[in-house]
Amino acid sequence: MPSVPLLKTDLPDLPLKRGKVRDVYDLGEQLLLVSSDRISAFDWVLPTGIPDKGRVLTQVSNFWFEKLEVPHHLLATEVSEMGLPSGIDLKPLAGRSVLVRKTEVVPIECVVRGYLAGSGWKEYRRYGLRRSIAPGFAGERPATGADFHAGHQSGGWRSR
């Protein structure tokens, strides 16, 4: 039987910021990042979710952080080792949560697509791969969610 999608978390008495997909709890010197099963498509958060999507996203990230040979922000991946306040049900958080140190945010996001279509395909045909991803390119499109507000990111193409 498939699990029910986890669309939001509610950990009492912990400051919360909710992003498009992740719920971020402020634990003082550290943050608890919880990946929900919410779907963000074309910078919109859809009303339904995909069961265990957050667990898959978290496990893929954890795999790559383990492969990095440089210091990073990840402190713990097992909820039982995170020192969360008593009374919190750890079961829904398992596999989809990480404890991280607070750091300065570097607003970069990698978007992986199975194919190019629409304006991305047109851009690739016109300039090729190197030109379309080069920093400072007049057609650079941010994908960080930094301008996210009211359920939609005000993205779009921008000039430098």
What is the spatial distance between Cα 32 and Cα 9, in angstroms, rounded to a whole number?
12
Reported as a pLDDT band with limits 50, 70 and 90, residue 160 is very low
The string of pLDDT tens digits covering residues 5-50 is: 999 999 999 999 999 999 999 999 999 999 999 998 877 899 999 9
Which of 19, 18, 104, 32 has its CA nearest to residue 75?
Answer: 32
For 71-89, what is the mean pLDDT?
A: 95
Reported as a pLDDT band with limits 50, 70 and 90, residue 128 is confident
Q: DSSP for 81-136?
A: GS-PPTT---GGGTTTEEEEE------------SS--HHHHHHHHHHHHHHHHSTT
For 136-157, what is the mean pLDDT?
A: 44
Kindly tell me if the per-residue pLDDT of 140 is higher than 50: no
Q: What residue segments make up the domains of the chain, in order of their start?
A: 16-101, 118-153
Kindly tell me if the per-residue pLDDT of 149 is higher than 50: no
What is the spatial distance between Cα 122 and Cα 118, in angstroms, rounded to a whole number?
6
Higher local confidence (pLDDT), 49 or 143: 49
The tokens describing 43, both together, are 């910078």
The structure's pTM equals 0.72
Kindly tell me if the per-residue pLDDT of 61 is higher than 60: yes
Give the homologous superfamily in CATH for domain 16-101: Phosphorylase Kinase; domain 1 (3.30.200.20)
